[in-house]
Amino acid sequence: MSSDGVNESAGSTPAIIRHLRGLIGDDVVLLWVTKGEKSPKWRRWQKTGIEMMSDQRYLKNLANDRNVAVLTGEPSGGLCSIDIDDDEAVEPFLALNPDLRETLRSRGRRGCNIWVRVQGGYPGPSALRRADGSAWGEWRSTGVCTMIHGLHPAGMSYTRSPEVPPVTVGFNDLAWPDDLELPWLADEVELPEEEGQSDAEIIERYGVPVFYTRPDENGDFHVKGINEAYWAAIFAAENIVLHEPDERSFFRYAGDTGLYSVISPDVIKQEISFRMLETSRKDPSLSLLENFRTDRILNSVVAQLRGIVEHRNAFTDRPQAVHLANCMLRFEGDQCFEDGFSEDFRSRNRSPIIFDPRADCPRFLNELLLPAVHPEDAVLLQKMAGQCLLGENLTQRFVILDGEPGRGKSQYGIVLQALVGRENITQLRTDHLDERFEMFRFLRRTLLVGVDVDANFLSSKGASYIKGLVGGDWFDAEQKGGTGSFQFQGKFNMLMTSNCRLKVKLQGDVGAWRRRMLIVRYEAPPPKKKIPDFGELLVSEEGPGILNWALEGLRMLLTDIRETGDIRLTPRQSGVVDSLLAEGDSLRFFLDSNVIKSPGSDLTVGEIVQAYAHYCPDQGWDPLPESQIGRQLPSLMLELFQTVKANSCQRDGKSARGFRGVAFINPEVLP
C-alpha cells in the first residue's frame, strides 16, 4: 500500500499515478520532483507535453519515491490553482466563492492550494499581495507547477481534502478579496515561463530583482542597481546546477543524457546576461536593467550562485548505479532495477552502450575470451568488468593481463574501454606518478589503463602510488597554472596489459601488493586467423550483449562482497600473484630458503650470486642483474642473518668479499 492507501501492485502504471489521474483528469501533465523539494530541477520541464503521460518509463519515474507536481495551465487543459499562504485567509476566500468549497484542495505546511479548471482565457502566473505589501498567495497557471503529492521541504506530507475533482469555472467568475492588488487589472507583464520556483518564492527568500532610485519630479522610479542574489537564484531555479567547492567547478545536469557536465563561469555569465536583457525588453519599467550586465556585476552574481548551489562531495556520496546510454541500473542485493535518468544519481560518467536485456555475445566469448584464458580467469575478468562499469573500485584491486603477444590481451582491453566509455579513461604512467601535476589528469575519470607496458612498469619510481589509487587513499591534485589543490580519494579501476611478466618493486610491502593485485595469464596458443581491429568489431556487433555479460559479473561480484567481504579467488589465482611477488623479491626468497646461520662458516658474494642465478630458472623467474644483487645483498644479509660484508673470506688462499657466520642449507645449491 502507498502512503495514500492505494494498492501499488495492479497494472503497469504506478497506482498513485492512476489515482491522481482519476482525480484530476487524464489530460493533466504530471512532473516528478526530487523528494522533499518544491519544483523540478531538470532542464525545460516547462515544455513537458501530454505525450509523456503515455511513456511507461516516465510514469515509473513519477512514482519512484519522488514528489509529484502538476504542470498547471495550458499543458494540463486549463487546470490551475489558487495558492493561499495562510490558514486564516482560506475561509474568507471560500466565503466569496462558495462553489469552491466543493473543489479539490491540497495542503503542505500552511494555507492550501484550491484547484480549478478554467474555461476560456486566464492570466499568467502572478504573485498576489495585499495593499499593505504583505504576501497573500499566488495565481498559478501556465509556466509554473503546483505540488500535489509527496513530502514538503518542512518534513510533512502533502494532503488532499476534500479529495474531489476540480470544479470548472470561468476566470472572471472568481471573486477576490478587496484588499488584494490584482496584477492582471494593472496589465502587468506575466512571469516568464522558464522559471523553476515561482518568482514570489525567490523574492521571499532572496529579495527583489532590482533596486530603484527615489521618485523624480514626475514621480517616476528608475533602476539604480540589481540584487545579485535574486539573479543567481533565478539561474539556479531554471537549471539543475551544482558547485563542487573542492574541484572549484560548476556542473549542470542534462536530462537527455542523465549527466552532470562542467559549465564554465563564463557561460553562466552569458546566460544570466541574456536573461537580464530578455527581462529588460519585456518590462518597460526595467528597460535600464540592460545597463547592469557588466563583467564586474555578473562576477558578483556568479559568486552568489556558488553559495546557493554548493554541494560538497556531490559525486563521492552519490547513489550506487550503472549509468548506460538509455537508462540507469540500480543494484540492490542480487536484484537489478532499471530506472530512467535523474539528477538524483549525480552521475558524470556513463557507458555509451545501450541496455538491451535480450542481447548476448557469442563471438566475444567463443572467439576472444574463452579460448585465451583459464575458465576461472574468465569469471574473474567478468566480475572486474562489472566493477569497471560501476565506476568505483569496490575490491580495491587492479588487474594485470600478461602473456605472449597476439593472444588477445589488447583486444580485450579495447572492448573494456569501449564498455566504460573512452571519455572516462586515461593513461596510467607510473614513472610520472610522483610528479606535481600528474594526478590532476585523473579528475573525473574512473578507469586508468596501462597498455603493453614493459617489465619495469611496477618497479618505476612512482609505482608505489598504485596501491593508494585503487585502495581508497586520499591524494592532493594540483592543476598546472591553477590555484591551490584539492583532495580526491583513490577509488579508480585499473587495467594493465603486458607481453612479459612485470617486476614489482616491493620495498618490504609484500602484503599490500598481494591485497591489491589480480593477474590473468594469457598462455593459450595464438588464434589461427587474426582479425584486424577485432575488439572494435565485437563492440559494434555485440556491444549490448557484452554489456549484459559485464552486468552479470557485477551481480556476482556484489554477491561475493556481501558474503565474504571481497572478491572470491581460487587457490590457483592466488598462487599466480604469490609467484609474481616472489619473483619481485627473488633475492630475499632465495636467501630465506637456502641460507642459514652457521658459526665458523662463510659465503662469498660470488658463491651467493652463482647459486641465486642457478635457483631462479628452476622457479621460472628471471634473476636480477648483478648490479642490483650487489646493491641489495648487504642489507638483506644484515636483516636476515645479522652479518655484514667482510673482505677477508678465504678461498684458494686468497681473500674474497663475503659474509661470515652463514652457510647454504644444501651445499649442492652450487652448480
Q: Report pLDDT for 8.
A: 41
Cβ neighbours for 498, distance < 8 A, ≥ 6 positions apart: 400, 401, 402, 409, 452, 453, 454, 455, 457
* Amino acid occupying residue 27: D
Backbone φ and ψ of 331, nearest 5°: -110, 125
Name the pairing type of β-strands 167-170 and 112-119.
Answer: parallel
The answer to whether the peptide bond before residue 405 is cis (omega within 30 degrees of 0) is no
Helix %, strand %, coil % for the chain, to 5? 40, 20, 40
Residue 118 has pLDDT above 70, yes or no: yes
CA-CA distances (angstroms) from residue 518 to 380, 425, 431, 495, 513?
Answer: 9, 20, 21, 10, 10
CA-CA distances (angstroms) from residue 188 to 179, 183, 191?
Answer: 18, 6, 9
Residue 398, Cβ neighbours under 10 Å: how many?
A: 25
Cβ neighbours for 632, distance < 8 A, ≥ 6 positions apart: 587, 624
Q: Report pLDDT for 335.
A: 78
Extract the C-alpha cell encoding 557: 561480484
Q: Write out pLDDT tens, residues 628-639.
A: 899 889 999 999
Residue 357, Cβ neighbours under 10 Å: how many?
A: 10
Q: Write out pLDDT tens, residues 28-70.
A: 999 988 888 888 877 678 889 999 898 887 887 787 778 999 9
Q: Are 375 and 494 in contact (CB under 8 A)?
A: no
Distance CA 358, CA 37 (A): 37
Q: Write out pLDDT tens, residues 186-232.
A: 543 343 343 345 677 888 888 888 887 766 666 566 778 889 999 99
Burial state string for 466-487 with b = 16 or more CB within 10 A and e = fewer than 16: bbbbbbeeebebeeeeeeebbe
Q: Report pLDDT for 221.
A: 64
Distance CA 561, CA 254 (A): 33
Largest CA distance in the chain: 124
pTM: 0.67
Burial (CB < 10 A; 0-12, 13-18, 19+), residue 671, is exposed
Backbone φ and ψ of 621, nearest 5°: -110, 155
pLDDT average, residue stretch 494-523: 88
Task: Please tell me which residue, 357 or 42, carries the higher pLDDT value.
Answer: 357
Torsion angle of alpha carbons 49, 53, 55, 57, nearest 10°? Answer: 110
Helix (H) or strand (E) holding 657: strand 654-664
Burial state string for 132-148 with b = 16 or more CB within 10 A and e = fewer than 16: eeeebbbbbbbbbbbbb
Q: How many helices (H) and strands (E) does the chain have?
A: 17, 29
Distance CA 475, CA 466 (A): 12
Give the mean pLDDT of the chain: 89
Percent of residues, the chain, with pLDDT higher than 70: 93
Q: Write out pLDDT tens, residues 323-341.
A: 999 999 988 876 788 888 9
Extract the C-alpha cell encoding 198: 515561482
Q: Report pLDDT for 515.
A: 93
Q: Report pLDDT for 197.
A: 55
**Cα 468 from chain centroid (whole Å):** 20
Distance CA 16, CA 34 (A): 16
CA-CA distances (angstroms) from residue 326 to 255, 329, 351, 385?
Answer: 11, 10, 9, 19
Q: Looking at residue 364, what DSSP letter applies? A: I
Residue 158 has pLDDT above 90, yes or no: yes
pLDDT confidence of 484, banded at 50, 70, 90?
low
Residue 568, Cβ neighbours under 10 Å: how many?
A: 15
Residue 1 has pLDDT above 70, yes or no: no
Q: Write out pLDDT tens, residues 5-27.
A: 444 444 466 788 899 999 999 99
Q: Are 173 and 129 in contact (CB under 8 A)?
A: no
Q: Write out pLDDT tens, residues 379-389.
A: 999 999 999 99
Burial (CB < 10 A; 0-12, 13-18, 19+), residue 448, is buried
Domains of the chain (ranges; CATH) run: 1-188 (3.30.2250), 366-581 (3.40.50.300), 585-669 (1.10.10.10)
Task: Please tell me which residue, 198 or 152, carries the higher pLDDT value.
Answer: 152
Q: Is 274 left (phi over 0), alpha (psi -120 to 50) or beta?
A: alpha
Burial state string for 491-503 with b = 16 or more CB within 10 A and e = fewer than 16: bbbbbbbbbbbbb
Name the pairing type of β-strands 493-498 and 645-651.
Answer: unpaired
* Amino acid occupying residue 606: G
